Amino acid sequence: MISKSQLLEECLNIVHRRIDDIKAGLRDADEALANDTKSSAGDKYETSREMVQQDINRYQKQLALAENDQTILLNTNLVNKGKLVVPGTLVSTNLGLYFICISIGVLKMNDATIYVISPASPLGQLLLGKKVADVVKFNGNEHTIISLE
């Protein structure tokens, strides 16, 4: 059986690695910008600096998204006292296991495949508010909810 706390911990590890990778890329881009020396070809220099600046902007946006994912994970309530799908719920259907949290994709844990999806994703939106035995139709497939954790 999958422990939701272990699942959440694995999601946090993935996000932490993503943040570390983005920060490393940002540091490299900052260094490239700082080490870029003006050449005699002024247009080439300006184009190079602009490309590095675009990289920095892209890394900053990615970092903000990853830090937002981290905040969501840290604030995820794993106790589902109700009988409905809410963020933090592990949903077992006839077609698979879905952890409603952030968008990570497929995780393999304890010989199980878990789809970690955002409540804002198309399937996440369909599952929110559903209960055991409800059926959700998505991409031509019928997902029958077997259990909620």
Question: pLDDT digit string (tens) for 84-125?
Answer: 999 999 999 999 999 999 999 999 998 999 999 999 999 999
pLDDT for the residue numbered 62: 97
- Give 76 or 33, the one with higher predicted confidence: 76
Same-domain status, 13 and 70: yes
pLDDT for the residue numbered 43: 58
The pLDDT of residue 39 is above 60: no
The pLDDT of residue 42 is above 70: no
Res. 8 pLDDT band, cuts 50 70 90? very high
Same-domain status, 22 and 58: yes
Please report whether residue 82 resides in a domain.
no
- Tell whether the torsion through CA atoms of 113, 118, 119 and 121 is positive or negative: negative
Same-domain status, 107 and 62: no
- Residue 136 DSSP symbol: E
pLDDT for the residue numbered 81: 74
Please report whether residue 83 resides in a domain.
no
Provide the number of structural domains found in the chain.
2
Strand ranges (E), 1-95? 90-93
- Does an H or E element contain 135, and which? strand 135-138
* Phi, then psi, of 52 in degrees rounded to 5: -65, -40
Same-domain status, 94 and 43: no
pLDDT for the residue numbered 37: 55
